[in-house]
Amino acid sequence: MGIIQESVDNWENCYSIWEEAELLYELSFEEKDSETEEEASLLLDKLQGKVDAIELECMFSQEHDANNAMLSINAGAGGTEAQDWTNMLLRMFLRWAEAKGFATKILDILPGDEAGVKNVTIMVTGRYAYGYLRSEMGIHRLVRISPFDTNKRRHTSFASVFVFPELNDEIIVEINEKDLRVDTYRASGSGGQHVNKTSSAVRLTHLPSGIVTQCQNERSQHRNKDTAMKMMKAQLYEREKKQQQEDQQGLHGDKKEISWGSQIRSYVLQPYRLAKDHRTNFEVGNVDSVLDGNLEPFIKAYLLWQK
């Protein structure tokens, strides 16, 4: 009922803004007051933004779209180049989440050898976080003049993005303790002397599937293990769901290859500037805006394309 009530509240809020704007327009017309008219126009701009967001949410149809999301970014081959690209993507998603009013928390991060990040996992908390972010799952490609190349040559870098919904307590994923290997290690990066002196970080390996999750954000080993287990359950659930989809497609004689290695979007900084989604063919010339977190047009194009 929480999500339904929130949707009703949002529409009621939109109606209130419309009534206020209508009243201001009438006043500005009667009194020939340009300032009041401008105030009404600003309210209508605000209303347009809210209506656009609600229309986007109406496209969310998958089972866990309303859930929080766990997002992992992993550097591809290419060393420092790819690790710097991973860090740029991390910033992009954090900026997007901030603009949406979503809370973020880094669950695990492995810094690069010289710069950037090798891999990172963040929790994004907010209404429809998974619904928005599942459009970002796949390979992201960057083309630019490398800042790490003294000869100023053009480089292509890749990073993979995986997104999983945070599962609520109503969904039960059975994991046999005998199928898990639990490793503890000292957390890296910031966190104070306590974190670095104790083996508080936890890595879980699900032996039958090979799935590995880890968490080092919390000071307590117990809490890190709980978070890593939550990540493990989410990935196992998604894995099982995708297997069922593959089996169902096979029964219908229309089995398509499902590959995490498919390139979904390119961000070209040299020799021209363009961000293009290869699934929807939606493109934007202002790449800097996209890298600053303006992902909404791409997300909307993806949801329309998926429909």
DSSP element (H, E) containing 229: helix 221-251
Is residue 63 classed exposed, middle or buried when 0-12, 13-18 and 19+ CB atoms within 10 A define those classes?
Answer: exposed
**Angle, CA of 205, 107 and 142, to the nearest 5°:** 95
pLDDT at residue 191 in the model: 44
Name the residue among 139, 145, 143, 78 with its Cα closest to residue 112: 78
Check if 69-170+256-306 and 177-251 are the same fold.
Answer: no
One of 2.60.40.1180, 3.30.70.1660, 3.30.1240.10, 2.60.120.260 is the CATH number of 69-170+256-306, namely 3.30.70.1660
Question: Is the per-residue pLDDT at 27 higher than 70?
Answer: yes
Angle formed by the axes of helices 296-306 and 34-57, nearest 10°: 40
User: Which of 25-39, 203-217, 226-240 comes out lowest in average pLDDT?
Assistant: 25-39
Question: Could you report how far apart the first and last alpha carbons of the chain are, in Å?
Answer: 26
88-113 pLDDT per residue, tens: 999 999 999 999 999 999 999 999 98
Q: Is residue 51 helix, strand or coil?
A: helix
Q: CATH assignment of 177-251?
A: 3.30.160.20
211 residue type, one letter: I
pLDDT-based confidence at residue 197 (cuts at 50, 70, 90): low
Indicate if the pLDDT at residue 2 is higher than 70. Answer: no
Note the pLDDT of residue 169: 63
Alpha carbon distance 93, 91 (integer Å): 6
Report the candidate in 169, 101, 107, 97 with the shortest Cα–Cα distance to residue 133. Answer: 97
| CA 103 – CA 127 distance, rounded (Å) | 10
How many residues are given for the chain?
Answer: 307
- H/E segment holding residue 121: strand 117-125
Integer Rg of the chain from CA: 23
pLDDT at 196 over 60: no
pLDDT on residue 285: 96
Domain boundaries, the chain: 2-57, 69-170+256-306, 177-251
From 44, 73, 39, 255, select the one nearest 157 (Cα to Cα): 73
Name which of 31-35, 77-81, 258-262 the model is least confident about: 258-262
Average pLDDT on 79-96 reads: 95
Q: Which of the two residues, 203 and 169, has the higher pLDDT score?
A: 203
Question: Taking all residues of the chain, what is their mean pLDDT, rounded to a whole number?
Answer: 84
* Backbone CA torsion sign across 62, 64, 67, 69: negative
